[in-house]
Amino acid sequence: MANQQDIVRALAYATEIVGIPEITAETAPEFAARVALVQVLNGPLGVSEEGPFPIDAGHVVAYIGQIKTEAEKQNRNVFYKRQITTKLDEVARIVATSVE
């Protein structure tokens, strides 16, 4: 089970990946949605002694006002394009390598 330090570390890391540098009441819904998408594409963002764990909406809500980083802010379209393009390129590269 993830402890508080593991959750804070995962949320801070997530700010970099999702392009939302601060979890506030205003940003929490979009932050949680972006984290969910990233985890569908790539797996859990959290890591604890017991292994990987997903960040869920409950974690996001519980830490409103407590997480703020220097992450570069990205609008939704930039975030979405980056995530989807990266995953498409990754899968295409794997398949191309397999069929050569």
Taking only the tens place, the pLDDT of each residue in 15-71 is 999 999 999 999 999 999 999 999 999 999 999 999 999 999 999 999 999 999 999
Confidence band of 97 (pLDDT split at 50, 70, 90) = very high
- Per-residue pLDDT at 100 exceeds 80: no
Q: Could you tell me the residue ranges of all domains in the chain?
A: 4-99
Long-range contacts, stretch 75-81, CB < 8 angstroms, 24+ apart: 75/19, 76/30, 76/34, 78/19, 79/18, 79/19, 79/34, 80/37
- Specify the pTM: 0.92
| DSSP for residue 46 | E
